[in-house]
Chain A
Amino acid sequence: MIQLFHINKNFGGKPAILDLNLKIRAGEFVFVTGPSGAGKTTLLRLIFGSDIPDSGQILINGINLSRINRSKLTFLRRKIGFIFQDFRLLPKKTVFDNVALALEVVGERANNIKKSTRQTLKLVGLAEKEKAFPLQLSGGEQQRVAIARAIVKKPLILLADEPTGNLDPILTQDIMVLFRSIHLKGTTVVIATHNQELMNNTALRKIPLQKGNIIDC
């Protein structure tokens, strides 16, 4: 469960998040929407603990982010998969090693790493590219590597920042199906996007952000 209480976050005096209150239940699938600059990325980063709010409290599964030290935050992060808008892949590692890294850092056994990584690459349709380096891939392929790295560790929470921004409509549908199947296995999924098509014909909850706060539709 994710809870935000009166969160404020400013960048150089300008508010990116303004007195935001939000509750996302465990196992929920939600969209965070809004125009560019609305604060979607900032919101996800705050939940992930890679940005610290100027004021307010954030609770993840009952753990207050402002009350834990760095090493506890690291262990909390291992339960959260984050798909970065700009991918954040390691250019000197292969596709396989980039995805496997998420399991290596938690000290998973080598043969488990191999198995899970292969499986996940297959899920995102990149089984053939495992030996390639990120810069040899198209934008959409890099995006799928980033998705694979976030889901390979079977996170409790999946934070996806514009995860289909570089994908064609068919791949977008495939990835959405993938997210739904992860969700069905119990993962809480939070997707930030301004792509209206993603949210077409779904009854899933939408959190519309504007200027750092939720607007009433």
Chain B
Amino acid sequence: MMNDSFVHLISLGTIIVSMLIFGTFLLLSFNIKTWLEDWGHSLTMAVYLEDDISLTNKDHIAAFLKSVPSAKIKRFISKDDAYRDLKIALGPHSDILEGLPNNPLPASFEVILDIHEANIDGFKKFQKKLESYKGIEEVQFSEDWSRRFEGMMNVVRYIGFTIGGCFCLCVLFIITNTIKLTLYSRSKEIEIMKLVGATDYFIRVPILIEGLIQGCLGGLLAILALYCGYLLLVTKKISFLSLAVLEFQFLPYEYWLSIFVISVILGLIGSMIAVGRFVNL
């Protein structure tokens, strides 16, 4: 016969391992999401100027760009700079430029954009305002691009929710079955309680409380283990791929709190399902 505390350890272990996997997934996806946002942050926008722009208009545009906190002028590219850059880029084929009567390339401001999901709307306003300035030939910041960015974040989020949901169902299944295991080891005890006149409720409540405690304990230990793993990863500065360049963050409290809550709920529902079939013999 299986020892009672051993069976309890199995179901506690199941909860911890499942929540640890879930937490790792959350931690990675949270960081990937942050990196994606940072990647958006470092995108540049080109503001092409008309060839005959007046100096005052150019200064106005520069002043406007400087006044917007989420935009930063990286550099001003004059017509000559642009020509030289293109020539370098073309390399051995640069002789095709020789045939042109004059420099066809416009001067431009290269602007670093601080794009976050939250300020996409602000950006569209910013873009409109910019286009209203005189002397601008074209702003290469397409709405398509922002849509794609927004869409991508949504896709990442939906994939996360779907995987997370499936995962929770699997974990629920596993937890239910391990709790059933603990009940099998106590089936004699449960039977005797019924013979003595215990109601289902009387038998069920302690088991549900046990599931609740296991969920709490499992959640806490999983979060603790996750944090230890995170510290190990950060302090050892594991530099595979380019990950070291990117900053690795621990989950903000809403995330690990939700791990805890999910763990408690899984423990409770798991024991509910397990006990449901068991008590109604």
Question: Which positions in A face B, CB cutoff 8 Å?
Answer: 48, 50, 70-71, 74-75, 77-78, 82, 84, 88-90, 92, 101-102, 104-106, 149, 153
Contacts and interface: CB of A to CB of B under 8 A. Distances in A.
B198 A74 contact: yes
Contacts of A74: 194, 197-199
Interface of B: 4, 189, 192-200, 202, 280
A78 B169 CA distance: 40
A91 to B, nearest CB: 8
Contact of A102 (B194, B196, B200): B196
A142 to B, nearest CB: 13
A88 B193 CA distance: 10
Nearest to A89: B192
A73 to B, nearest CB: 10
Contacts of A84: 195
A105 B199 contact: yes
Contacts of B199: 71, 74, 105
For B4, B189, B195, B280, which residue has the most chain A Cβ atoms within 10 angstroms?
Answer: B195
A105 B189 contact: no
A78 B193 CA distance: 11
For A74, A78, A106, which residue has the most chain B Cβ atoms within 10 angstroms?
Answer: A74
B215 to A, nearest CB: 24
B66 to A, nearest CB: 76
Given A90-B189, A92-B189, A77 B195 contact: yes
A50 B195 contact: yes
Contacts of A75: 197
A164 B280 CA distance: 33
A88 B195 contact: yes
B2 to A, nearest CB: 14
Contacts of A89: 192
Nearest to B189: A90
- Main SS at interface, chain B: helix
Contacts of A71: 199-200
A55 B189 CA distance: 30
A77 to B, nearest CB: 5
A102 B4 CA distance: 23
A116 to B, nearest CB: 14
A106 B189 contact: no
Contacts of B280: 70
Given A77-B197, A102-B197, A153-B197, 13 more contacts: A70-B200, A70-B280, A71-B199, A74-B199, A75-B197, A77-B195, A82-B195, A92-B189, A101-B193, A105-B199, A105-B202, A106-B197, A149-B196
Contacts of A101: 193, 196, 198
B193 A105 contact: yes
Contacts of B4: 92
A153 B202 CA distance: 17
Nearest to B4: A92
A74 B204 CA distance: 15
A153 to B, nearest CB: 8
Contacts of B198: 74, 101, 105
A131 to B, nearest CB: 20
B168 to A, nearest CB: 33
The 5 closest A-B pairs by CB, nearest first: A78-B197, A105-B198, A77-B197, A105-B197, A88-B192
B186 to A, nearest CB: 9
A48 B196 CA distance: 11
A70 B201 CA distance: 12
27 contacts: A48-B195, A70-B200, A70-B280, A71-B199, A71-B200, A74-B194, A74-B197, A74-B198, A74-B199, A75-B197, A77-B195, A77-B196, A78-B197, A84-B195, A88-B192, A88-B195, A89-B192, A90-B192, A92-B4, A92-B189, A101-B193, A105-B196, A105-B198, A105-B199, A105-B202, A106-B197, A149-B196
Nearest to A45: B195
A57 B151 CA distance: 70
A70 B281 CA distance: 10
Contacts of B200: 70-71
A92 B5 CA distance: 13
Contacts of A105: 193, 196-199, 202
A125 B180 CA distance: 39
Contacts of A48: 195
